[in-house]
Structure 1
Amino acid sequence: MNFYRAVRAVADASGTEPIDWSAVTESAKAGTKPGDLDLTPKEIEAYQNDVRVARDRIRSMGGVAFDLPSTVEIQHRHHWIDANAATFERVLGEIDSELNHLPGVVRAINTGSMAVSMGFLANNVLGQYDPLLLSTGDDHALYFVHPNIERIARELSVDRDRFRRWIAFHEVAHAAEFGGAPWLTDHLEGLIEEVIDTLSSGQFSRLDLDRIDITMTAVEGYAELLMDRAFDAEYDDLRRKLDARRRSGGLITQLMRRLLGLGRKRRQYERGKEFFDTVVDERDLDTAGLVWERKDNLPTEAELDDPTLWLDRMAA
């Protein structure tokens, strides 16, 4: 890591945009060790096999017709920063030009904040299904951050191969959602564009953010459901240890998690999974899958808290 270079990149942020994305990428990389990506052919094959097994089991158990993304990458942390900086730039670059002419000091603050966030996430993300929102292509991508998977498996004292496969099941479950619901990407893109348009006009809409939160709660909850039920019967120890790790950490780690909204994301997992577990327990997995038939089937805020309301609406 080179902290001087990280700070220098932020200080030298330039251009007319609210954030200098080249500086974000350079600074985040300078402050983050890439990690080892010297995999043996056997280790590469293990990742490939995990993804195939997850695809086949989720297809069979969930009754979802979907294909894997053509891009499936085993990454180190700098690879992840490159991929996600491009996504953030694509999404946030939609903000109206009226916000672009900012003083240099404000641009540096924005750039530095984003670089710190990217560096923190790069050190903690295990896997990622990327729907490549607002991109010109139609394909999606699947990433595994190998150094983080290795490190966290050691920290949790769990079997590395089993932990890696569990992560693969979660990310492939997302591929099943987006592949089985072609409208989902367009729906999320539309919500993001509405938020950006509102912010560009100098306003703030809590309703737009709530709609994104509801959608992502359904996305994360259903993935957790498929992940657990398709994996095997012995996942409780993995979930318990990973949840405990997310709740622990030093003051800086906890502050970063709060600032980045990671506690909210954990709530999405828990609330969404509780909703779908209730639906499956009262009906079945096929009924839970109705949520992806069309966007009108997404649960409302009230239905997330009371799944019987959603079940009644689906039966009507």
Structure 2
Amino acid sequence: MSSNPSDHGDTPQDPLSEMLARLFGGGQAGGIDPQELAKAAGLPSDPNAMAMIFQQVQAMFSAPSEGPVNWQLAKDNARRVAAAGGDPSVTPGQAKEVDEALHVAQMWLDPVTDFPSTTSLGRAWSRAEWVEATMDSWRRLTEPVAVSISQALSNAITTQMPEEMKSMMGGASSMLANMGGAMFGIQLGQAVGALSREVLSSTDIGLPLAEGTMALLPANVTAFGEGLDVPDAEVRLYLAVREAAHARLFAHAPWLAPHLFGIIESYARGIHIDMSKIEDVARDIDPANPESIQEALAGGVFQPERTPAQAAALERLETALALVEGWVDEVTAAATSNLPSAEALREMIRRRRASGGPAEHTFASLVGLELRPRRLRDASALWALLREERGIDGRDAIWQHPDLMPTSEDLDDPAGFGKRRELLDASDSDVDAALRRLLEGGFNEPPADEAADGSSSADASGDATEPGEDPGEDEPGSDGGGKAGPAA
């Protein structure tokens, strides 16, 4: 009989590898109850679904990964959650209805915005198709957070591990390094999958998650319209106008999408994980006691802490999202004024976007970031006022450059935006004029008003020379006396 208890006739495993295998369901005895771990991590408790998830986690631990997070695991879990309870494929009839609604939406938008129609493709998506189309954007938005969490967990456990245990790790080192990323991937998939059951379109959260595409999700649109006492066609058309308005805005303000993603990425790069908290938890975890790990997960040990810089970034993001959603809200209201139910639908969308759904809250708790335009109504009022003051062209021209955009101060006082903008423009004009004179050497010349009347400050003091005088000779009336002699 082998002296190594982990040797069952196959290749012996080191103790840590065997412990981790048992931890994630690979052993017959001991280990964590998958349903209890799922409950602690906020995951579905269905035994079959959790068995499949843990099989993928084990596969990730035993195979090389592209990085600290297995994004395939995240996407597979998102698709699984999206399909929970049914995710019917889009029928040809539904695809035709969405296509027609988007075409009508484009025509209705033409008179109310200066932005022309785009070449964006129109699509009708199932929830799984939304997951597939948007997963790259979710990866871009969350990868810095995932990396921070994975590294923090790995460093904390490694630091607390005895030296003799480190020497026994062997092939388990990669599993240890990816443990935090695996948990993050599972949770991200859960959040994205839940969102797929709530979103109505590709831009429903205010970001162009599927660039170059307009899309509605017929199943979710139908669920949204239930109980509204509004014809399905009107609901679909109103949402199509909103989707087409988003598409026009992002297409004709090409700086906008990178600007929004840049704020989010800046926020994510500043994610700070409380290492001392993780180290304290890692010190108290007993691998033989599943409850200790469950308590660590349930205690929010991986919850990122918000720094002052991140709070400022979050305020910029909320203002930017409010401006996007406020413009879309104002333009959609103008385009759908002939719909009997337009005002009721507008109010429902406003409340929905301002409060966020359950899945949005799940995502916010995962990365510490809320994608909600809290000041949507203020922004909508600002854009409406600008349309009255400047017309449609003048209102939409503000989207030409980020420096022209209203600020949170403008949302506080929409009526004062024009005056503040005039003062800012005047200040910028003065700076530009001064810079131009400096570059042209103009500061060596007398100001234009002085040159025009032939006087200068030097004339007033009597220090300037008259034309034809030799500056090296004394002036008339001086002690030197005499007139200037003839030119040589």
TM range (shorter): 0.7 to 0.9
State yes or no: 1:23 paired with 2:76.
Answer: no
- 1:290 aligns with 397
- Which of 324, 343, 367 does residue 236 from structure 1 map onto? 343
Single out whichever of 167-176 and 43-52 deviates more from structure 2: 43-52
The 5 Å alignment of 1:102-121 reads 102=154, 103=176, 104-121=178-195
Q: Which has the higher contact order (CA 8 A, sep 6+)?
A: 1
Do the aligned residues in 2 keep the contact of 1:10 with 1:27 (CA within 8 Å)? yes
Partner in structure 1 of residue 51 of structure 2:
8
In 2, Cα distance between the equivalents of 1:99 and 1:267?
Answer: 28
Confirm or deny that 1:157 pairs with 2:207: no
Residue 67 (str. 1) matches residue 118 (str. 2): yes
1:73-117 Cα distance to aligned partner (Å, 9 max, x none): 211111111222222123434669676544454334312321221
After superposition, the C-alpha distances for 1:131-169 in whole angstroms (9 at most, x for unaligned) are: 358xxxxx5222211111122222433211110011011
**Could you say if the C-alpha distance between residues 155 and 109 of structure 1 is closer, same or farther in structure 2, counting changes exceeding 3 Å?**
farther
Contact 2:333 2:346 in 1 (8 A): no
Percent identity over paired residues = 20
Deviates more, 1:200-209 or 1:52-61: 200-209
What count of residue pairs does the alignment treat as equivalent?
A: 305
How far the C-alpha of 1:281 sits from its partner, in A, is 4.5
Hey, what's the Cα distance between the residues in 2 that align with 1:87 and 1:172?
A: 20
Q: Deviations over 1:174-221 (max 9, x none)?
A: 111112212223323433343344338998422222222221111111
Matches within 5 A, 1:61-210: 61-69=112-120, 71-93=121-143, 100-101=150-151, 102=154, 103=176, 104-129=178-203, 131-132=208-209, 140-199=212-271, 204=307, 205=309, 206-210=311-315
Instruction: Tell me how far apart the structure 2 counterparts of residues 128 and 268 of structure 1 sit (CA, whole Å).
Output: 21
Distance 1:38 1:190, change over 3 A: closer
Secondary structure of the structure 1 residue equivalent to 2:202 = strand
- Pair member with larger Rg: 2
Q: Which residue, out of 31, 37, 40, partners 2:89?
A: 37
1:28–1:81 contact (8 Å) kept in structure 2: yes
Q: CA RMSD in A?
A: 3.4
Instruction: Tell me what 2:14 maps to.
Output: none
Quote the offset at 1:226 in angstroms. Answer: 0.9
Maintained 8 Å contact 2:126/2:217: yes
Once the two structures are superposed, what CA deviation does each residue of 1:219-257 show, in whole Å capped at 9, x if it has no partner?
111011111111224311223455677899xxxx96555
Residues 95 and 123 in structure 2, CA contact (< 8 A), matched pair in contact too:
no
Pick closer, same or farther for the CA change 1:5–1:312 going to 2, 3 Å.
Answer: farther
Question: Aligned to 2:323, which of 218, 221, 228?
Answer: 218
TM-score (norm 2): 0.55
Q: Is the 8 A contact 2:87 2:126 kept in 1?
A: yes
Higher share in helix: 1
Residue type at the aligned position of 1:39? T
Residue identity matched to 2:208: P
Quote the offset at 1:67 in angstroms: 1.1
Residue 3 to residue 19, structure 1, CA distance change in 2 (3 Å): farther
**TM-score (norm: length of structure 1):** 0.81
- Give unmatched runs, 5+ long, in structure 1: 134-138
Deviation at 1:172, TM superposition (A): 0.7
